[in-house]
Amino acid sequence: MKRKENLVSYLFLAPFLLVYIVFLAYPVIYSFFLSFHKVSIYTDMFDVFRELKFVGFSNYIQIITKDYNFWWSLVLTFFYAIMTIPAGIFLSLFLAIMLNNKLKGKTFFRAAYFLPNVLDMFVIGTIWVFIYAPTFGIIVRVLNFFGITYFNSTGLLGNPYTALASIGFAMVLKGCGFGMILFLVALQNIPESVYEAAKIDGANWWQELKHITIPLLKPVFLFLIVTGIMAGLNAFTEIYAMTNSSGGPNIVIAGKTMGATSISGFYLWKQFDFGRYGYAASISYVMLAIALTLTYINFKIIKPYGD
């Protein structure tokens, strides 16, 4: 009987397990193997990994000691996360609090803010390229109206100081509806009686927000921070769509020329695109270490479910 249940279970699990092993488990190991190798010069797009050369730790050493572009990409990723995560949370929470009132047309607003979430990232990015464009883009025109002509020749995405922030802004607008719904659901789960009790104790709205609402929304905060970090580390499509395959306008820091939007996910793709597969694999591992550390720290600091 026991053996039969084992067999049946594994039969049901077999398709999932097969794909999992081939395309998720094995890649983690293979990537580790690859990170100690270099791919020789290849010519055939259809058989790229024919010749691998063992290079020991040299990929990792190169990343840690010489590759300033990689460290720059981490700095940019950090900036990107610092810009988008709090802004996204703030905007989502703000919208949720507004919509938590008894308003007519609530369903319409809910849908309107959520809609951009379901749409294709590359397409939305492409549309924003026009919005941010020099001379004819709407943002530049609005700025001109206020007498600001600084962006007329480059647009917002062509200026190294605004390029990444502009991408972040577009992505916050695209994503805020999602967080809004999460906050709305959490807000509606807070019993009315808690607020009534607070009112009797003479709490004002700020105290209510600080001592009741925000603490009870903790799991949502944690969720948005963790997914935000993941999105930052995985950010590629929005960068590719909005500043092309170049990694953005050049910026010169300490005598080195670097791409102003070349954040880590994009940099990883760039290495891949150059055919440096072994090197890209080792970058993946360094990024994995960073991602796991950050997630661990998050859970330690926020403690979503009490102590």
Q: Per CB under 8 A, which of residues 97..156 are in contact with other proteins?
A: 98-99, 101, 103, 107, 109-124, 126-128, 130-131, 136, 138, 141
Q: Which stretch binds other proteins (CB under 8 A): 41-49, 159-167, 187-195, 199-207?
A: 41-49
112 versus 253: smaller Cβ distance to other proteins: 112
CB under 8 Å to 305, separation ≥6 — which residues? 219
Amino acid letter at 83? M
Decide whether 76 or 181 has the Cβ nearer to other proteins: 181
3-class SS at 257?
strand
Shortest Cβ distance from residue 146 to other proteins (Å)? 16
- Residue 151 C-beta: closest distance to other proteins, Å: 15
Contact between 167 and other proteins (CB under 8 A)?
no
CB 93 within 8 A of CB 181: no
Q: Which of residues 216-255 bind other proteins (CB under 8 A)?
A: 223, 227, 230, 233-234, 236-237, 240-241
Within positions 57 to 76, which residues make up the interface with other proteins, using CB under 8 A? Answer: none
Do 268 and 287 meet the contact criterion of CB atoms below 8 Å apart? yes
**Number of chain positions touching other proteins (CB under 8 A):** 89
Task: Please identify which residue in 61, 185, 194, 197 interacts with other proteins, judged by CB under 8 A.
Answer: 185
Residue number with CB closer to other proteins (57 or 130): 130
Q: Which of residues 266-285 bind other proteins (CB under 8 A)?
A: 268-269, 272, 277, 280-281, 284-285
Residue 53 contacts other proteins per CB under 8 A: no
Q: Which two tokens stand for residue 74?
A: 């981490």
Residues 219/222/228/231 CA torsion (nearest 10 deg): -80
Provide the CA 245 distance to its chain's centre, in angstroms. 18
Tell me which of 75, 190, 212, 291 binds other proteins, using CB under 8 A.
Answer: 291
Our finding on whether 297 is near other proteins (CB under 8 A) is no
177 near other proteins (CB under 8 A): yes
Q: Of 16-24, 57-65, 78-86, 156-164, which segment contacts other proteins by CB under 8 A?
A: 16-24
Neighbours of 154 (CB within 10 A): 17
DSSP 209-253: IIIIIHHHTHHHHHHHHHHHHHHHHH--HHHHHHHGGGTSSEEEE
Cβ-based burial of 26 (10 A; exposed 0-12, middle 13-18, buried ≥19):
exposed
Residue 176 binds to other proteins (criterion: CB under 8 A): yes
CB of 172 to other proteins, least distance (A): 10
Greatest Cα pair distance in the chain = 81
- Nearest distance in Å: CB 97, other proteins: 10
Alpha-carbon distance 277 to 263, whole Å? 18
**Cβ atoms 243, 163 nearer than 8 A:** yes
Work out which of 45, 200, 254, 301 binds other proteins, going by CB under 8 A: 45
